[in-house]
Amino acid sequence: MKASIEQAFGREIRKAREKLGRSQEGLAFDAEVHRTYIGMIERGQKSPTLGVILRLARALNLKPSELVRRAEARFEKSNPWI
Amino acid sequence: MKASIEQAFGREIRKAREKLGRSQEGLAFDAEVHRTYIGMIERGQKSPTLGVILRLARALNLKPSELVRRAEARFEKSNPWI
């Protein structure tokens, strides 16, 4: 199934969040974004800005580039001919 | 001098663009964004979305994560105590 880079990013955010046993609320608080925004990000319904990517990465103890690398790998895997 | 992640990203976009000898217009065309938007990105006045980061990376023959990694390295260098 084809997925957008936003969907791939959202899946990786959810995976990293659940690995830490965090709720969407907890992540939203730490990253200083609205709780409903985390839900939209995780479902790939919003394209996060670089500033939001940085805050999410900090809240998840990851580098922004690592988050993007994971999303990119998932995205490439789901779009092998692009 | 302290710089935002957006300013660091903008500097890296400009550097990568100039390395390829591209104009802002040419990059804007390939990345399918408005020319004035490239200027704002390069000056750090806009926080690009993940979708725009992907399109800029493709137009510059770089991986999105590599662009973010460069911005991150520049950002960390300018904010050593964060």
Q: Does B28 touch chain A (CB under 8 A)?
A: no
- Note whether B78 and B8 are within 8 A (CB): yes
Check residue B25 and give its pLDDT. 97
- pLDDT tens track for A12-35: 999 999 999 999 999 999 999 999
CA distance B46 to B10: 9
- B5/A51 CB distance under 8 A: yes
Check residue B40 and give its pLDDT. 97
Among candidates B49, B54, B68 on the partner chain, residue whose Cβ is nearest the Cβ of A64: B68
CA distance A64 to B74: 13
Over chain B, what is the mean pLDDT? 94
Whether B80 shows a pLDDT value over 90: the answer reads: no
Check residue A78 and give its pLDDT. 84
Please give the ipTM for the structure prediction. 0.92
